[in-house]
Amino acid sequence: MNRYAVRAATIDDVVSIDGILQTQIEKGKLLPRTLPELFENVRDFFVVESKNEVVACGALQIFTSELGEIRSLAVSNKYEGQGFGRALVEKLIAESRKIGLHKLMALTYVPVFFHRLGFETVDRDILPEKVWGVCVYCPHYHNCNEIAVLKRL
């Protein structure tokens, strides 16, 4: 893997984040997020920068004093498989511990990726903060095939 840095996103990164997310949205792996929404939530994002290019992104959403979620985790198509997703999740885990969260969850189509990082598959029903706070508004709510994973910190 080449040299890279995982860092907090800035306003200047939002267009790059949007581009990376769009590639995954087109593949059906992520739900759409608008550019204004990305600007509004830029403080939740971390990015991986390699050779002066943002190549991956991920966000930490906080639900309660106990629970946070990894959201919008995506790697640019040409950089997949180089460990950037793992580096981001490790940073989001560290950030979650730093601010005092006790549990970190994600909804994913690739649970094995998260299992390698200490997450376990759980029933979505044990995450009412997510289900009733966010999922209920999703167009795929009644037909969701994402898998919930959880890590106790």
* Rounded Cα–Cα distance for residues 153 and 141 (Å): 28
Confidence class for position 97, pLDDT limits 50, 70, 90? very high
Q: Are 47 and 57 in contact (CB under 8 A)?
A: yes
Considering only CA atoms, give the Rg of the chain: 15
Place of tokens 């511990």: 97
Q: Is the pLDDT higher at 153 or at 123?
A: 153
* Rounded Cα–Cα distance for residues 8 and 22 (Å): 20
Task: Tell me the domains of the chain and their CATH numbers.
Answer: 5-152 (3.40.630.30)
Average pLDDT, the chain: 89
Q: Within 10 A of 134 (CB to CB), how many other CB atoms are there?
A: 17
pLDDT at 2: 65
Which backbone phi and psi does 101 adopt, to 5 degrees? Answer: -70, 155
Assess whether pLDDT exceeds 70 at residue 51: yes
Which 3 state secondary structure label does DSSP give 119? Answer: coil
Least confident stretch, 73-87, 115-129, 138-152: 138-152
Q: Within 10 A of 64 (CB to CB), how many other CB atoms are there?
A: 11
Q: Are 82 and 88 in contact (CB under 8 A)?
A: no
What are the E-state strand segments in the chain? Answer: 5-8, 45-50, 53-62, 67-75, 103-108, 120-122, 147-152
Confidence class for position 136, pLDDT limits 50, 70, 90? very low
